[in-house]
Each structure stands twice: as C-alpha cells, then as structure tokens.
Copies of this chain bind each other. A is one copy, B any other.
C-alpha cells in the first residue's frame, strides 16, 4: 500500500513579545510519523515511543486532525499511523501541533496534495483543540509552513509567512509540568494600555527586524512586558538563565509557548553552545532534570522524507 514518512519539527510559539500570534519552527527535536493508506476505512494509530498517548483516534491529536480532514474527502480510504514522538508532550515545544501538522501533511501527500496549506492549518487546528481546549494556530502554522509565521487574525484565519535570517536556537526543557490551561489561567484578562503600547512597539520591531535581517533590532525587540512577568514565575531559574544568556551574547529569548521550555536566539553557533552550558549549569545547581537542544531555524516545515 501507498505510504509516506514525514518529519514534523518542534515549534516555539509567541517568540517572546508575540503572544498568540507569532511562532518559529526549529530543526531539533522532530517527530517521525509513518502513514500508510489502507483499503478499509478507519484510522489505526500506533506509538513507537513511551509517552503513553491515547491511540483511539477521537482522543488522539493526530487522529482528530485527520478526521477533520477526512470530513472533506469523499470515499475516504483508511489510514494506519505510526508515531515516534521525539518532542515531549508538555514541553512547550509544540508537541501536539507536530502530531496534528505531521498527519495532515502526510495524509495530504497520500491524497495527491488536494488541499492547500491554509486548509491543512485548519484541519490541524482541530487536533490542537483536543490538546489545549483552544483552537490556536501559533504552533501549527510554523510547523506546516516553516520559518516564522504570523497569525494576523484567527477568525477568519489569516496566516502570514515572514522572512527571517539564519539564527541558532538554544532550548532547555526542565522536566517539570506546566499545563497550558494553567499557564493561560494565571494571565490577567486586562492589561494596561501603556504596557500594550510597549508590547506592540516590540512586536512591530521584531517583525521589521526579522524582515530586514537586522539582528540587533531583533534582539532589542525580544521583550515581553505582559505575559512573561506572570508566566515566568512558574519556571524555576528563568530570570537567572535569561540574565546570564543575554550577558553571554544571546540576542534574546524567553518562554517557549506556555513553558516550561526556555529558548534563546543567537547569531553564532559558539554563542549558542555557550548558552547551553549556562542552562546546564543552572539546572544542575537547581537539581531539576532537563534536556537541552542547540539547533537552527527550520525553514521548510513538515518534511516528506520518503
């Protein structure tokens, strides 16, 4: 039977100042998914990892995303999916988005690419909704499109792909649990206008910096006066890591998505590796298990490898 293998990249939502609108795809970690068509309708899901995720399609992110696509396919075939999840659930690195984005790209490939990328984002968002209770696209869009994406508007969906210069990305994932729903609940529903103005100055600066390849402007704009001050309390060592990484030459960085992972951007690999050392040192001292990644911007999104 026809089958395909795809790699679905981890993603960093928000990019510090762009809460709910910006996202960035990175080259490591990546989920591996193998998807085959089968004659009888129905979806079968296997896991090759140890995350103990549900395999029942209606309770699985990839399953729900695929079902959402198949609603628009006449005489849909069946699918058998094997997921090797390398992006740990709950890491803040877009684990559920990778499942949702990976399956819709794979299935679309098997169905002769009948759907547009905007359609794929829409189907994958149904999967995200299962994971977080909210239909959001700030991980889905960069996972499918690669690079940096802007969700200008969610209803109706308006996704804008932004250019971005090559950058190194250092990530640390402290092995603690921060639930997306908790991270959302602690946010205040109102913000001060003067802080909102600071935030949109930084967002505009970040977009301009990315599009002009102006690393200094990117660095100056990576400041979040609204979300980070509240959410960072949930992440031990956050302030110290940020301070020391910036002193060591990071352009800037912050919480990845709703955490607990922390990411830092830099222009040079040597700096990126030094940031990994700083993160390692701090979490060793704190006695918290962690995993680090030194990687780069992923420009292609979910990749069909065979």
Residues on B with C-beta less than 8 A from A241 are none
Residues on B with C-beta less than 8 A from A203 are 200, 203-204
A186 close to chain B: CB less than 8 A? no
Stretch from A145-153, A243-251, A253-261, A282-290 contacting the other chain: A145-153
A211 close to chain B: CB less than 8 A? yes
A53 close to chain B: CB less than 8 A? no
A204 in complex: contacting residue of B22, B188, B212, B217, CB < 8 Å: B22
A192 to B196, CA, bound (A): 10
A197 nearest CB across to chain B (Å): 5
A210 nearest CB across to chain B (Å): 9
Residue-by-residue, is A8-23 near B (CB-CB < 8 Å gives 1, otherwise 0)? 0000000000111110
A250 nearest CB across to chain B (Å): 19
Residues on B with C-beta less than 8 A from A75 are none
- Please report which residues of chain A, range 178-219, place their CB below 8 angstroms from some CB of chain B when the two chains form the complex: 187-194, 196-209, 211-212, 217
Cβ A221 vs Cβ B152 within 8 A? yes
Which of A18, A22, A200, A226 neighbours the largest number of chain B CB atoms within 10 Å of its CB? A200
Cβ B193 vs Cβ A189 within 8 A? yes
Number of interface residues of A (CB under 8 A): 40
Q: Which residue of B lies closest to A195 (CB)?
A: B196
Residues on B with C-beta less than 8 A from A21 are 197, 200-201, 204
A158 close to chain B: CB less than 8 A? yes
A70 close to chain B: CB less than 8 A? no
Residues on B with C-beta less than 8 A from A160 are 204-205, 208-209, 217
Residues on B with C-beta less than 8 A from A201 are 20-21, 150-153
Residue-by-residue, is A152-174 near B (CB-CB < 8 Å gives 1, otherwise 0)? 11000010101000000000000
Residues on B with C-beta less than 8 A from A199 are 196, 200
Which of A192, A205, A206 neighbours the largest number of chain B CB atoms within 10 Å of its CB? A205
